Amino acid sequence: MSAAAVRGNAKLAQASPYTAFVETAARYADNEFLLVPSSATAAYASGLVSLTYSQALDAIDALKARYLAAGLGSGHRVALLLENRPDYFLHWFALNALGASVVPVNPDYRRAEIAYLLSHSEAVLAVGVEGRLDDLRAAAAETGRAVPVVSPAEAARGIESLAMPSAPGAPDISAECALMYTSGTTGKPKGCLLSNEYFLHMGLRYVNRRGYVQLEPGRSRVLTPLPMFHMNAMGGSTMGMVLSGGCVIQLDRFHPKTWWQDVNQTRATGIHCLGVMPAILLGLPASPGDTAHCVRYGTAANVEPQHHAAFEKRFGFPLIEGWAMTETGAGAAISADTEPRHLGTRCFGQPGSDVELRIVDEAGKEVGVGEPGELLVRHAGPDPKRGFFSGYLKDPEATAAGWAGGWWHTGDVVARWQDGTLHFVDRRKNVIRRSGENISALDVEETLRAHPLVAQVAVTGVADETRGEEVMACIVPSRTAGIAEARDLFDWAFERTAYYKCPGWIAFVESLPTTATQKLQRGAVRELGASLLGTRECFDLRAFKKRIKAAQKASA
């Protein structure tokens, strides 16, 4: 399917991800849709996993029949804790075929976090990998609602009827496809309502890109380690491949030691990564595999400027910076697909003709060339919200505030240079970005505040040469505290929240900077955190932040 054919396909314009998959499977039945290298399958298979479009569609339709028999349909939400496994793709498309929405669950979430998602989303069913079923059931019990929990194998065999009515009529392009939770500044994650159009729009943007990033219909193969509970993997790599007949090469996570082996053996033509990955890859010993690949481009976000040119020179392909949010989808995505890219800066390209933007100061007045201000965006044309999310679940006030004045307020501070390129400066929102994960400081504060040692707490991000930012907790203790108490606080957080949210640094202080009304002065907290690094009051706990340890605890 050529890009022109995709653009001109009127039927596809009224489709869903499932119907788009059906159309592609008819054209490219024997093409590989999904490939999971053996480096990523140790938890559930003895080697690599490969599915053609026809094989995947057969499995999807079989699941579709099982879910239909159970009474699932429009208006229902199903939580998926399926990691980056093939089951995730199959269950998502099967549920989408019926008009049911999926609620992707971060596999690093603990019981309380899962319970919040199940309760807030009002999910009617949860499907999870075997090792997390007990956690899912315990979380479901905390909601006070009857939420059945099944494994993929149990779902494939058929589940009991949920005896719940679904909305009448067939799902259309505006129907909800997924409810994706994203960190904000209000403590608890917000649920972004994402429609069928949202995902199709993301896929179409990928197919229609020009410059360094171009897909070759029926031949492109994109390798990604990014998680399926993020919009990049669901909407970008997956839908881009579905709409072009390409192959998704899905890793479970980023494996530096086997990265180039996987890239080479899978014949990847494109890769997706986040800012921390180039730095790690550059730190590996040079080898022939560095350039013995078929990669034509890589897409990235937040690459450290000092690594960008060195990465491209060593590995032999352009690494394209881009910008988007879960809320914007491809409705206002921006990427550096063409020159000038200004390597060595935080340039993320120029807006295309489909994006309108403003850069404003705190008073809402547009700033001049080169001056920093908050980025406001919308889709060009008669529908400024086209391709964007449909709103925050159960939070119309936050949705309206985000769209104040008819522009989406991103919370990101950028500057526009004379040549029209956009350059990232900082985040206005109180969010810490560690290894590509957005972490709400208020969420971490809430967890730590429940510990009896904590009288006051302020969480901020501090610079980290590998992760971009690391979580620091500045704590006023209720008694004398040292390294033993810092480790106890870390373990407390580790038992109650995803590992990456735990404080990598804990500093004990006499007081925190506050306003006259006792509100934290966030700017001053950030300065305080930076000043405490390397002092005797500040304890480095980064070595204890291990995903594998979290997984072991979850299955214990």
Confidence of residue 517 (pLDDT cuts 50, 70, 90): low
Q: Of all residues in the chain, what percent carry a pLDDT higher than 70?
A: 94
pLDDT value of position 9: 41
DSSP string, 398-416: HHHHHTGGGSEEEEEEEEE
Q: What is the band of 442 on the pLDDT scale with cuts at 50, 70, 90?
A: confident
pLDDT tens digits, one per residue of 462-503? 999 888 999 999 999 999 999 999 999 999 999 999 999 999
Domain ranges of the chain: 352-429, 431-555
pLDDT of residue 8: 37
In this predicted model, what pLDDT tens digit does every residue of 151-171 receive, in sequence order?
999 999 999 888 777 777 778
Give the residue-averaged pLDDT of 447-463. Answer: 94
**Matching CATH number, 431-555, of 3.40.50.1220, 3.30.70.260, 3.30.300.30, 3.10.50.40:** 3.30.300.30
Note the maximum CA span of the chain: 69
pLDDT band at 183 (very low <50, low <70, confident <90, very high): low
Residues near 217 by beta carbon (within 8 Å), at least 6 away in sequence: 1, 2, 3, 5, 244, 245, 246
C-alpha dihedral sign at 84, 86, 89, 90: negative
Nearest residue to 339 via CA among 525, 147, 210, 471: 210
Is residue 555 very low, low, confident or very high in pLDDT (cuts 50, 70, 90)? very low
Which CATH topology does 352-429 take? Luciferase; domain 3 (2.30.38)
Answer yes or no: are the C-beta atoms of 461 and 503 closer than 8 Å. no
User: pLDDT (tens digit, 9 = 90+) per residue, 328-385?
Assistant: 999 999 999 999 999 999 999 999 999 999 999 989 999 999 999 999 999 999 999 9
* The pLDDT value given to residue 116: 96
